[in-house]
Structure formats: structure tokens, C-alpha cells
């Protein structure tokens, strides 16, 4: 599945090109969404709302949003309404505590939709001090992509991992598991993978252990 790779062209309307950025900038939210749906443009063209990710969201709702975007881990869930994958990713990364099955789906989301609006995601992650979480997820996705023949996807992810590297925080954080006990935190500090240590995150997630690491 190439979830985000049609270049923003309208799939069922030959001859019509779709400028997702222009649509999001110039049309009201509801009209922009209608335009995307009418032209069958990819989810990356769906409008983005600043601060739409600020309100706490439960794992159940994020599971449905990932299912709607095609994540195999939630293929058993029925979901229709789609959000822009950049908004789903940032909403998840801003959560204090999420189910492991949701956080495991975030590298897949970055990989599947490597053409998402990364500038928007990076800017808003920095406003929330979540750039380490985003950088870690993008790095894992980049590691998975490097094993494929898709040089565009791999290059896109490496580019934004490097962008996030420049604003990496020294402050320790978790990957959406703030309820970790002190004993768990101590164990993770001693046993976390090198990538997690680099991004100052307390997590044992690794690219090679992701349940759905390919497209």
C-alpha cells in the first residue's frame, strides 16, 4: 500500500491537479475537507487546524483514527471519518498516556504518509516541546524505510529527522507513558535502545520489533 504517495493528484479526476497546501490555506476548514473528499485526494491533503491536537484524546479514539488511515494493527475496527495523518500523529504524541498498540502504530503512520506536512508537524511539536517524541518516531520510520527500495520515502524521513535533531531537547521524556513507575523508569534508563537514549525517551521500542513495520 502506498498510502501517501500519489503526489496530491486527484485520483478519480484525470487532468485535475490538487494543490493541497493552497486548499488548506485559502478555503475554510469544512470547504477544504469537502474539496478533498470530492476529488478523492489523499488524506495528507485534508485540512489542518492549529491547536486541534491540544485536547486530551483517549487511545480508543486514536485507534479508530489510525484504522481509518489504513493501519493494519487496527484493521478489525470500522472507521470512516479521516483526519490528516499529521494531525493524528501530533495528537497522539501530545498524549500523556496511550495504549502500547497505539504508540506502536505511530512509526507506521510516519512511514505510510511520508509526504505529510512535516513543516506543520515540526512547528507544532516544538510549540508543545514534543520534538523529541516526534524525532524518535520519524527516526524509527526512517530506519524501516532504509531497508526498502523507496528512496523518496526514505529521504523524506531522513530530512525531517535531521530537522528535528537541531531542536532536540535535553529533558527526559516518555513515549506517551508518563504514568511509568520510578522502578520502570530506572530499568528503561539502563536498558533502552540507543535511538531512545539519543532522543532522551524512556521507551524500549525498536524498529525491528514493530509489529507492522512494512507497507
Series of mean pLDDT values for 10-residue runs along the chain (215 residues): 42 45 57 68 84 78 96 92 91 96 98 96 95 98 92 96 98 98 98 98 97 84
What number of H helices and E strands is found in the chain? 11, 2
Rounded to 5 degrees, what angle do the CA atoms 60, 45, 151 make? 95
CB of 47 within 8 A of CB of 24? yes
- CA-based nearest residue to 107, from 157, 52, 150, 165: 157
- Provide the grid cell at 121: 508537524
Integer Cα distance of 162 and 112 in angstroms: 19
Pair type for strands 201-202 and 173-174: parallel
DSSP output for 45-87: GS---TTTT-S---HHHHHHHHHHTT-GGGTTS-------HHH
Residue 2, pLDDT score: 46
Integer Cα distance of 187 and 196 in angstroms: 13
**What's the pTM value of the predicted model, to 2 decimals?**
0.85
Residue 155, pLDDT score: 96
Residue 166, pLDDT score: 97
Amino acid at each position: 500500500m502506498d498510502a501517501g504517495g500519489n503526489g496530491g493528484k486527484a485520483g478519480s479526476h484525470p487532468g485535475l491537479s490538487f494543490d493541497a497546501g493552497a486548499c488548506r490555506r485559502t478555503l475554510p476548514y469544512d470547504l477544504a475537507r469537502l474539496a478533498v473528499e470530492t476529488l478523492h485526494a489523499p488524506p495528507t491533503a485534508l485540512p489542518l487546524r492549529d491547536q486541534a491536537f491540544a485536547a486530551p484524546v483517549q487511545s480508543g479514539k486514536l485507534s479508530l483514527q489510525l484504522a481509518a488511515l489504513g493501519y493494519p494493527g487496527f484493521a478489525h475496527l470500522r472507521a470512516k471519518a479521516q483526519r490528516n495523518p499529521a494531525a493524528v500523529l501530533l495528537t497522539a504524541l501530545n498524549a500523556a498516556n496511550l495504549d502500547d498498540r497505539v504508540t506502536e502504530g505511530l512509526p507506521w503512520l510516519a512511514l505510510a504518509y511520508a509526504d505529510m506536512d512535516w513543516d506543520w508537524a515540526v512547528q507544532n511539536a516544538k510549540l508543545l516541546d514534543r520534538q523529541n517524541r516526534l524525532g524518535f518516531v520519524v527516526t524509527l520510520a526512517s530506519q524501516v524505510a532504509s531497508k526498502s527500495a523507496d528512496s523518496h520515502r526514505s529521504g523524506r524521513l531522513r530530512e525531517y529527522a535531521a530537522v528535528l535533531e537541531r531542536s532536540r531537547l535535553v529533558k527526559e521524556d516518555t513515549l506517551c507513558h508518563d504514568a511509568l513507575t520510578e522502578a520502570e523508569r530506572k530499568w528503561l534508563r539502563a536498558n533502552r535502545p540507543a535511538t531512545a537514549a539519543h532522543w532522551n525517551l524512556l521507551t524500549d521500542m525498536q524498529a525491528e520489533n514493530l509489529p507492522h513495520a512494512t507497507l
